[in-house]
């Protein structure tokens, strides 16, 4: 009995620590607590909303007619935004931002870029086959090169804001399905502010892009696949085919020039092909495929009970990624 009392007293001061040398528990630093999800969400949303607005204004106003300058400026802004996000996560969440790990970048970014280019090309091919679009001539090769950088910057800043921040943190509070709904709705609504923004265009973007990009993040738990999809789609739309990107009437022109004719439900009207029912159907099929694989691989998550008050659990969970 005396021996048991002694062990109990020693455990309180770190002696006879189970699983290690005496005093090991007393010396072990406490696990840092994760800041509550609402706090992180607010801080990161404010920070990266400002970053997205500034980067978008800088690259679109500075890139036109400047092939090399636009390319380098856009790529530099894209890299800077990703690095800033990694730093913000380190400060707020006490972890490495595995979702922007360079280890996953080459394969996932490349795959996303190819698929994004392919999805838009397929969309425009269907619209053209129905008589809604035709190529009328060449545009500007220099502006097309600049578009590579511009669209990279737009893709990275928007994916950081809407997927790495809004979707990821909202998922802690609502689970995956709730995060998909919230992030997609906000992403679509944000496009109402574009020069040619319409309610239908915002709804189309919500369904075809918000859900698709959220599904890509859900499957991989990495930002690089959604960045690649976003970049490839916008690059094909504006940089190659010279179409209006989400109703935006500014930025560099494309490699080709084209002419749209026919009902807006087919062509997308002034908003561009993203407001076409064809784009909604094509991207919805891709979204369904990604979510199906994500469900089969167990990538969907339920809400985290500790997210409101903070704790270390989600900081560790964010490091899990798949191909």
- Read off the pLDDT of each residue in 56-62 and give the average, rounded to a whole number: 82
Lowest-confidence pick of 12-26, 91-105, 205-219: 12-26
- Crossing angle of helices 211-220 and 168-190, in 10° steps, is 160
* Lookup: tokens for 286: 């891709």
**In the predicted model, is pLDDT for residue 310 greater than 70?**
no
pLDDT for position 321: 52
Contact between 150 and 76 (Cβ < 8 Å)? no
Measure CA 244 to chain center: 21
pLDDT score, position 318: 45
Q: What is the mean pLDDT of residues 193-208?
A: 92
Between 318 and 200, name the one with better pLDDT.
Answer: 200
Where is pLDDT greater, at 316 or 189? 189
DSSP strand pairing (133-138 vs 256-260): antiparallel
User: What pLDDT does residue 194 have?
Assistant: 85
Whole-number pLDDT of residue 307: 55
Q: Which comes out higher in pLDDT, residue 164 or 248?
A: 164
C-beta of residue 281 within 8 angstroms of C-beta of residue 253: no
Average pLDDT over residues 133-142: 91
Query: How many residues in the chain?
Result: 323
Q: Say what the pLDDT of residue 5 is.
A: 52
- Burial class of residue 159 in the structure, from the number of CB atoms within 10 Å of its CB (0-12 exposed, 13-18 middle, 19+ buried): buried
Would you list the DSSP string of 176-221?
HHHHHHHHHHHHHHHGGGSTT--HHHHHHHIIIIIHHHHHHHHHHS
Radius of gyration in angstroms for the set of CA atoms belonging to the chain, rounded to a whole number: 23
Reported as a pLDDT band with limits 50, 70 and 90, residue 68 is confident
- 133: part of which helix (H) or strand (E)? strand 133-138
Average pLDDT, the chain: 86
Quote the strand ranges of 233-320, DSSP E.
256-260
Is pLDDT larger for residue 38 or for residue 214? 214
Q: How far apart are CA 63 and CA 69, in angstroms?
A: 7
Helix/strand/coil percentages in the chain, nearest 5: 70, 5, 25
Interatomic CA distance for residues 18 and 25, integer angstroms: 8
Is the predicted pLDDT of residue 169 greater than 80, yes or no?
yes
Smallest CA-to-CA distance from 204 within 287, 139, 144, 129 is with: 287
Residue 245 forms beta bridges with which residues? 248
16 falls in which pLDDT band (50, 70, 90)?
A: very low
Query: In the structure, what pLDDT confidence band is assigned to residue 61 with cuts at 50, 70 and 90?
Result: confident
Per-residue DSSP letter, 261: -
- Is the CB of residue 35 less than 8 Å from the CB of residue 310? yes
pTM of the complete model: 0.85
What does the pLDDT average to over 26-55? Answer: 80
Q: For the segment 82-116, what is each residue's pLDDT rounded down to a tens digit?
A: 999 999 999 999 999 999 999 989 999 999 999 99
Q: What H or E segment, with its residue span, contains residue 136?
A: strand 133-138
Under 8 Å between Cβ of 145 and 67: yes
Residue with tokens 């090991």: 24
Decide: 243 and 124 in contact? Cβ < 8 Å.
yes
Three-state DSSP class for residue 172? helix
**Residues in CB range of 71: below 8 A, 6 or more apart:** 145, 146, 148, 149
What distance in Å separates the CA atoms of residue 230 and residue 52, rounded to the nearest whole number?
Answer: 15
The CB density around residue 183, as the number of other CB atoms within 10 Å, is 26
């Amino acid at each position: 009995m005396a021996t048991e009392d002694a062990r109990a007293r020693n455990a309180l001061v770190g002696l006879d620590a189970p699983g290690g040398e005496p005093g090991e528990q007393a010396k072990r630093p406490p696990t840092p607590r994760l800041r509550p999800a609402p706090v992180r969400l607010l801080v990161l949303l404010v920070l990266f909303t400002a970053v997205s607005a500034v980067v978008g204004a800088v690259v679109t106003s500075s890139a036109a007619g400047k092939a090399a300058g636009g390319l380098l400026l856009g790529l530099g802004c894209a890299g800077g935004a990703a690095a800033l996000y990694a730093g913000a996560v380190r400060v707020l969440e006490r972890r490495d931002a595995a979702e922007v790990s360079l280890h996953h970048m080459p394969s996932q970014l490349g795959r996303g870029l190819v698929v994004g280019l392919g999805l838009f090309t397929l969309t425009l091919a269907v619209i053209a086959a129905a008589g809604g679009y035709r190529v009328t001539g060449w545009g500007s090769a220099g502006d097309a090169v600049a578009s590579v950088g511009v669209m990279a910057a737009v893709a990275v800043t928007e994916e950081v804001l809407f997927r790495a921040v809004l979707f990821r943190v909202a998922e802690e509070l609502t689970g995956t399905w709730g995060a998909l709904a919230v992030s997609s709705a906000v992403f679509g609504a944000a496009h109402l502010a574009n020069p040619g923004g319409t309610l239908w265009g915002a709804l189309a973007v919500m369904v075809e892009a918000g859900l698709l990009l959220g599904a890509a993040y859900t499957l991989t738990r990495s930002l690089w696949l959604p960045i690649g999809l976003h970049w490839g789609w916008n690059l094909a739309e504006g940089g190659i085919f010279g179409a209006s990107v989400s109703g935006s009437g500014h930025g560099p022109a494309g490699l080709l020039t084209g002419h749209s004719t026919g009902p807006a439900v087919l062509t997308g009207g002034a908003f561009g092909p993203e407001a076409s029912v064809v784009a909604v159907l094509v991207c919805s099929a891709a979204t369904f495929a990604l979510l199906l694989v994500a469900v089969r691989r167990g990538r969907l998550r339920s809400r985290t009970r500790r997210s409101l008050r903070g704790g270390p659990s989600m900081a560790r969970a964010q490091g899990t990624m798949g191909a």
